[in-house]
Amino acid sequence: MTTRSRLPSDVPEPRPHLGEPPALDLLNTRWIAQTGPQDLLTDVAGARQWLADNNLDAPADEDTLNALLAAREAILRVVKADSADDPHIADGLNAVLAHGRIRRALTPDGPAGVPEVADPAWLPAWLAADNLLHLLANSPERIKQCAHPHCVLWFLDTSKNGTRRWHSMAACGNRAKATRHYAKKTQSEQSAG
């Protein structure tokens, strides 16, 4: 997918669908708007925005941006592929995870796993990669890409029966319904005429 570069003077279109778990929210830094493909992570300002959106206190600099980009590509590769197809599918994700670890500790709030990442620039990327591991361990079938053919957004299906198809019914679900309705109407008019 070709992405439109955002120049500092550009006003980016608002990023849709915030609030997913960090791994999926990192994937959702790319989206398709009416003006074309968008990418929040084209510069440090975008990285700063993503950090703020996820309540992460980390340096917003080129190193953090590059680490986030590496994590985003590794996460995308894992969620899009069938691991049986490629034994090396996890290499990129494991490379991101190699930048840190969980240290078990007893804190004032009780037992905890404390992330330890040597280079602070890698902490946000590492947290997103670690989050993907939790999602894969608990509900891999609930990690879904929006079913609308022109949407690239991801979501965690939290519906009771796990049959959610759209990142947003109001956006993509309604567009799909309108498209089907128009196609049916056109077909009936052609059949009648």
Q: Rounded to whole angstroms, how far apart are CA atoms 83 and 135? A: 16
**To the nearest 10°, the Cα dihedral for 71, 76, 79, 80?**
-160
Q: Rounded to whole angstroms, how far apart are CA atoms 68 and 45? A: 13
Q: Rounded to whole angstroms, how far apart are CA atoms 172 and 166? A: 6
pLDDT number for residue 84: 63
Q: Rounded to whole angstroms, how far apart are CA atoms 85 and 115? A: 31
Q: State the average pLDDT over residues 99-122.
A: 96
Judged against a pLDDT cut of 70, whether residue 65 lies above it is answered with yes
pLDDT number for residue 83: 60
Q: Rounded to whole angstroms, how far apart are CA atoms 58 and 60? A: 6
pTM beyond 0.85? no
**Above pLDDT 90, what percent of the chain?**
66
pLDDT number for residue 72: 98
Lowest mean pLDDT among 11-20, 51-60, 147-156, 181-190: 181-190
pLDDT number for residue 116: 97
pLDDT number for residue 87: 80
Judged against a pLDDT cut of 70, whether residue 120 lies above it is answered with yes
Superfamily of domain 22-140: Jann2411-like domain (1.10.3300.10)
**Domain boundaries, given as residue ranges, for the chain:** 22-140
Arithmetic mean of pLDDT over the chain: 86
